A and B are shown apart, each in its own frame.
Chain A
Amino acid sequence: MKFKTKKASFSSEKQVCFLQPLLQKKAMMLREIIIHLILIGLIFIMFFMATAGRVSKNEVRQQVIEKQIALMIDAAEPGTTISMRKIGDNGFINDISAEAGSIHVVINDFISIKGYPYFTKSSVSVRDDVTKFYIDVR
């Protein structure tokens, strides 16, 4: 008795169809893992930068200078000019500004968000030259 056996023949089309899901799945998984890692890395970079800014001494230095200037402005008589060196023991003062009744100091590129308020009835303006800032109380 002869049994006719059908030979299993894998055509190229069937081979591709068999292997394609596996290859696609591996590629997709790898792509997703890479995207996950990049996004998680970005979040942690932002987190570490924010924490480093918080932990650094620049915030304390900024507080000290802002409050010093605010108290000097409050105590000053009209016609007084207060000068501050740009380079000092606390570092490099990038900018001093008097806006909406508050003094803002940018030190070592550390930006001032809140500032410190002053209450003098005189008008306050800030100007600078190469080495110093001048705060005029008029």
Chain B
Amino acid sequence: MKERKYGCINNKKGVAGESILMIYRLLLISFIALVILGLAAVFYDYSINVRWAEAQILGKKVVNCLAPEGVLDLDKIPVSGEKKILDYCGISNSGRFFVQVDIMDNNMKSVKTLYDGDSGSLWVKRVYDQGKVNDNLKKYEAGYFSQIYDISTLKDKNKIGIKVNLKVLVNYED
């Protein structure tokens, strides 16, 4: 049989077109599958909030650091430590925490304030407390702990009673 080089029409352009259509169809199916997977991920998402417990634990660690055995020595805290109180206590702050320690005399007048973190977190907490937050955002609410402690401080080697108002905020973990 005589072989013909171009005997029968071989539709090469048609085959290339089919390949492009196939890629398009695969991309479309992948997109639909991803959308359904995303919806399933949102619907079945379940988050357990333990930030309030973390805030309590962190608060107690800070107080034990600042006032071991209930005595606070302000002279031991360097000036750099007043704004980085967690660093002073050896606790790493990845940006999730805000700690504020108000040292007050017995008349509740503030003597000194030590803090670490972004104080804007307190403002966000107030917005949540006012109930102005959508249900979908409630799972991001920060854990909060606040307590006033009666401790002592040293002045001229004498113990004087003071109050420490501690506020701890633990933000949502990324």
Contact = CB atoms under 8 A, between A and B. Distances in A.
Task: Say whether A and B bind each other.
Answer: yes
Nearest to B39: A51
B48 A63 contact: yes
Interface in A1-41: 12-13, 16-17, 20-21, 24, 28, 32, 35-36, 39-40
Interface residues of A, number: 37
Interface stretch (B87-95, B101-109, B149-157): B87-95
B46 A63 contact: yes
A121 B92 contact: yes
Given A54-B40, A101-B92, A119-B54, 6 more contacts: A12-B1, A16-B1, A17-B8, A36-B25, A47-B33, A117-B96
Interface of A: 12-13, 16-17, 20-21, 24, 28, 32, 35-36, 39-40, 43-44, 46-47, 50-51, 54-55, 59-60, 63-64, 67, 70-71, 74-75, 101, 114, 116-117, 119-121
Interface of B: 1-2, 4, 7-10, 15, 18, 22, 25-26, 29-30, 33-34, 36-37, 40-41, 44, 46-48, 50, 53-54, 57-58, 61, 89-94, 96-97, 173
